[in-house]
Structure 1
């Protein structure tokens, strides 16, 4: 009998997240959507009528992200979490919060899933090496390098979890624009494949994928010193501790959900 997985996809009210959600629902999985406000949540449920639920929270607001994690844990634990949400044309602070800090906070406050998938980008090659993280100066390329670093740190420090990053390509979504040259279907197929397939090529960790194939990535992303520095900076900015090699339980969740001064 086919195993039905419970999967949460952030930023799944449109674009690649919505398409991945539809594909996973059609395959018989239990999918939870996410939208930043109630109006978009209603739209998402209309577009993916087989979805089990939708969680609402603005990933650009730190307190809403923490509340979102609490709401997600009421539904979870999840087998898979896909950190799909991202912004491109926005202020540096907004880009950093949505693309980097929100995935960091959710990663640490959610009960650990079996698999974690983070969306990066080929543009991560243009990201600046991490020295002193300044949210006021983070570019989109920086954010995609940092989220790849987060993914690889999770893969290294949480060996019980399969954590991988995906470059979906430059695809014709609202973010990518109608003239984007890459294949839209292939843009979400890799997330779906990593989420649910049990072949050995999908059951790996610490990889960066493009069209279901591992790809080379920026050497700074695998620098453990830089990874640890990123985790320290994210902890300082969010007040959420990165838990190494431990399963988050409800008691620990309530402790880490408090912002430290």
Structure 2
């Protein structure tokens, strides 16, 4: 059985993925913003707590998570859609956690079909003025960049669909269960093709925005993230 960390696991897709992994017998470490949001504390191998909208707390989450050793998989699920913290939570937090923790066997990052409307203007990242679509373009690009940068670690991006969570709203048309199945599958199964560098929607590999697979843009994004955070990726 695998040891897997899921960020943003208090509710919605993160909680559903963590519960499915636990039900399958895996050891799951969940991240929640604060202790009051924790559900079923006895179910998990461990809990890490911190607000991913605050850079100091992101670093503390990384330290807490590192106490569990190297993970077999990390699912970077936490995200916000309409918040001034969209860049910090959706991009800087997964970047900093990735750069600060031991390289896991597998990395899964939550993307969105809205990434196709994102901007390649990385000055918006440095200024913190990027939109939700921008954030998902950038995190998808990071996921695919890591696929070729870190041998021994597979890395994928997942569009969970527009599902009826608190973020998606009650009228969202996609299936809620299908929203977490791909993340669980990528974290635990070996019969995955492509084995790394995939952009997925409901268990099917899709074609992302061309920028995500552009090596020059990947390098520019990583350089911008390193410069902005002061934390090197490698």
Same fold, judged at TM 0.5 (above): yes
- Alignment of 1:83 with 2:76, yes or no, is yes
Q: How many matched pairs?
A: 233
CA distance in 2, matches of 1:66, 1:137: 22
CA distance in 1, matches of 2:80, 2:26: 27
- Alignment of 1:106 with 2:97, yes or no, is yes
Q: Following superposition, which runs of at least 4 residues in structure 1 exceed 4 angstroms of deviation?
A: none
SS of equivalent residue, structure 1 residue 34 = strand
Q: Does the Cα contact within 8 Å between 2:122 and 2:224 map onto a contact in 1?
A: no
User: What pairs up with 1:242-253 in 2 under 5 angstroms?
Assistant: 242-243=233-234
Q: What TM-score results when the alignment is normalised by the length of structure 2?
A: 0.96
User: What pairs up with 1:62-211 in 2 under 5 angstroms?
Assistant: 62-91=55-84, 94-132=85-123, 133-201=125-193, 204-211=195-202
Q: Does the Cα contact within 8 Å between 1:166 and 1:208 map onto a contact in 2?
A: yes
- Alignment of 1:37 with 2:30, yes or no, is no
CA distance in 1, matches of 2:225, 2:216: 14
Q: Give the equivalent residue in structure 1 for 2:212.
A: 221
SS of equivalent residue, structure 1 residue 75 = coil
SS of equivalent residue, structure 2 residue 177 = helix
Larger radius of gyration: 1
Contiguous gaps of at least 5 residues in structure 2: none
Task: Kindly state the Cα deviation for residue 159 of structure 1 after the two structures are TM-superposed.
Answer: 2.0
Q: Give the equivalent residue in structure 2 for 1:241.
A: 232
Q: Give the equivalent residue in structure 2 for 1:251.
A: none
Q: What TM-score results when the alignment is normalised by the length of structure 1?
A: 0.87
Please report the RMSD computed on the Cα atoms of aligned residues, expressed in angstroms: 1.2
CA distance in 1, matches of 2:5, 2:40: 14
SS of equivalent residue, structure 2 residue 70 = coil
Q: Give the equivalent residue in structure 2 for 1:18.
A: 15
Contiguous gaps of at least 5 residues in structure 1: 244-261
SS of equivalent residue, structure 1 residue 195 = helix
